Amino acid sequence: MYLTKEEERIYNGELGWAKQVCMKILVKLGDLFGAERLIPIGSAHVSGVSYKTLGEAPIDFLEALASANEKTMVEATLNPQSLDPEYLRKRLPKQLLERQLDILRSFEKMGFKQTYTCTPYYIRETEKNSHLAWAESSAVVYANSVLGAWTNREGGPSALAAAIIGKTPDCGMHKAVNRKPNILVQVEEAPKSEIEYGALGIFLGKVLEDKIPLIKGLKNPTAEDLKQLGAALGSAGMVNMFHYKEDETKTEGLEKFTVEPKNITETIVELSTAESPSKPDLVFVGCPHCSLSEIRKIANVVYGKKIRDNIDFWVCTSRHIKERAKGYVHKIEASGAKVITDTCAVVTWTDKLGIKTIMTNSAKTAHYAPTLNKANTILAPLEECLKTALKE
Ligand code: F3S
């Protein structure tokens, strides 16, 4: 891979060991995936922030990088961590909190913004055609497919290295030729709810491997529908981008694949592992983190009502959206529900809170919760989640 003189100096350790390690990570990846050079990025988004998913091993490395006084060269945001500032902090063991804070201190010292959200695109407008190094799969698919930005699916370490160097290898999704659809997916019946969009994503994620689909047959999807589709695609497989506008590209010569209505209904049934009927311990909405309009919608339904006894109801979002939605947050919390920032049900320890069954409108959460939360799942649209959580 070609390196500029400055990049070579970093590679050779002339600007310190920490930058050298980061440069070596990028060059290794670039060589592996056939990049000819590094390109500047507009922003980096790092995953692997939650102590629950990160574990002990990388904490020393993060602390060493932070002690070397390396700073991010571009806007760098962080994915959800394992705790929120108020509610869960009080309910989970102190030792977990301390280790989580160790991780956050290191990132903070390096200049990362304390965003703790999987929807960094709600915080700041992402420029079309900008090159990014993002590591949260749901955000990667959304950025490539809906926002028109260009990013590979980074791992936590490569996004961190890109943030410190301010560049990423010019390969994969950074090349126009690799962003063209290579399979035409005809959806026979357009999804009608967010869970059907999510189920479509899980189903396609499993069969498409890393192909880029042009999906035909969606009827006026909202941005939130596309967010559910992308999050599910990213969690069930290696798809990093989808096309969905009818006129977006030519379809001649593409391999064809049809999604029948039963593929969606069967996937929803598979994603609901709890025996029916079951009462959830937790109703969780906000995977990926809620937008302002999702918060507004929930507030308008729950206002003046109360959450049932013995049910937790979490609405997860970013600090940024919570701050902007103060009036709606007040209405939601008056019902007994919690508007939780910085984390989500999947990356915190719901099992330590005694939660055995999670009801959610997110196919991604339903996909992960049986393993990551040791919980049974009920996948249902928002209206049904609210009906279950609220007193008659
Ligand atoms: Fe975000 Fe947690 Fe879902 S990190 S995408 S809300 S699993």
Instruction: Note the pLDDT tens digit of each residue in 264-293.
Output: 999 999 999 999 878 999 999 999 999 999
Same fold yes or no, 5-176 and 180-270: no
Which residue, by CA, sits nearest to atom 5 of ligand 1? 288
Tokens of 227: 């967010």
Task: Give the SS3 label for residue 281.
Answer: coil
Nearest to 355 by CA among 310, 317, 389, 316: 310
CATH architecture of 180-270: 2-Layer Sandwich (3.30)
User: Where residue 392 falls among pLDDT bands split at 50, 70, 90?
Assistant: confident
CB environment 220-252: b (16+ within 10 A), e (fewer): ebeebbbbbbbbbbbbbbebbbbbbeeeeeeee
Nearest to 181 by CA among 242, 98, 136, 120: 242
Residue 80 in contact with ligand 1 by CB distance below 6 A = yes
Which residue, by CA, sits nearest to atom 6 of ligand 1? 287
CA pair distance 340, 359, nearest whole angstrom: 16
Residue 358 in contact with ligand 1 by CB distance below 6 A = no
Q: What is the pLDDT of residue 248?
A: 63
CA pair distance 378, 64, nearest whole angstrom: 42
Nearest to 275 by CA among 378, 163, 369: 378
Task: Give the SS3 label for residue 185.
Answer: strand
> Distance from CA of residue 297 to its chain's centroid?
21
Q: What average pLDDT does this structure show over 230-241? A: 97
CA pair distance 90, 340, nearest whole angstrom: 13
User: Where residue 254 falls among pLDDT bands split at 50, 70, 90?
Assistant: very high
Query: Residue holding tokens 């600090």?
Result: 319
Domain segments of the chain as ranges: 5-176, 180-270, 272-389
Query: Residue holding tokens 């301010």?
Result: 166
Backbone angles phi, psi at 91, to 5 degrees: -100, -15
286 C-alpha to ligand 1 centroid (Å): 8
Q: What is the pLDDT of residue 247?
A: 67
Closest approach atom of ligand 1 to CA 345 = 2
Query: What confidence tens digit (pLDDT) does each residue in 121-179 have?
Result: 999 999 999 999 999 999 999 999 999 999 999 999 999 999 999 999 999 999 999 99
Residue 290 in contact with ligand 1 by CB distance below 6 A = no
Ligand 1 probe mutation, 49, 53, 282, 347, most atoms within 8 A of CB:
347
Whether this model's pTM surpasses 0.85: yes
User: Where residue 253 falls among pLDDT bands split at 50, 70, 90?
Assistant: confident
CATH code for the part of the protein at 272-389: 3.30.499.10
Percent with pLDDT over 70 in the chain: 99
Instruction: Compute the mean pLDDT over every residue in the chain, rounded to the nearest whole number.
Output: 96
Task: Give the SS3 label for residue 208.
Answer: helix
Cα angle, residue 293 at apex, residues 199 and 173 outer, rounded to 5°: 55
Write the class of the CATH domain 5-176. alpha beta
Query: What confidence tens digit (pLDDT) does each residue in 61-88 have?
Result: 999 999 999 999 999 999 999 999 999 9
263 C-alpha to ligand 1 centroid (Å): 24
